[in-house]
Amino acid sequence: MPRAPSVTPQVPDQTLAVPAARTAALQALLAMLLGVFIVGMAGFSHLDVVHNAAHDTRHSSAFPCH
């Protein structure tokens, strides 16, 4: 009786890699968006605690804010 060929998945020899520059650019973009969100949220917050905490943080890092 002839033996049936075994079915094995074909795995490509090379894997697709994302270039490092593209990954770094994506990380930088996401970091900037997160920063803008945090600054915008704290800067325009109606809660005095959030606004004052952001204000004190800016002063402690020697960043002029007014």
pLDDT at 30: 95
d(CA 35, CA 42): 11
pLDDT at 11: 62
pLDDT at 42: 73
pLDDT at 12: 63
Per-residue pLDDT tens digits for 10-30 = 666 666 666 777 888 999 999
Per-residue pLDDT tens digits for 31-63 = 999 988 887 777 777 888 877 887 787 788 777
DSSP letter string over 9-65? ----SS-----HHHHHHHHHHHHHHHHHHHHHHHHT-S-HHHHHHHHHHHHHTT---
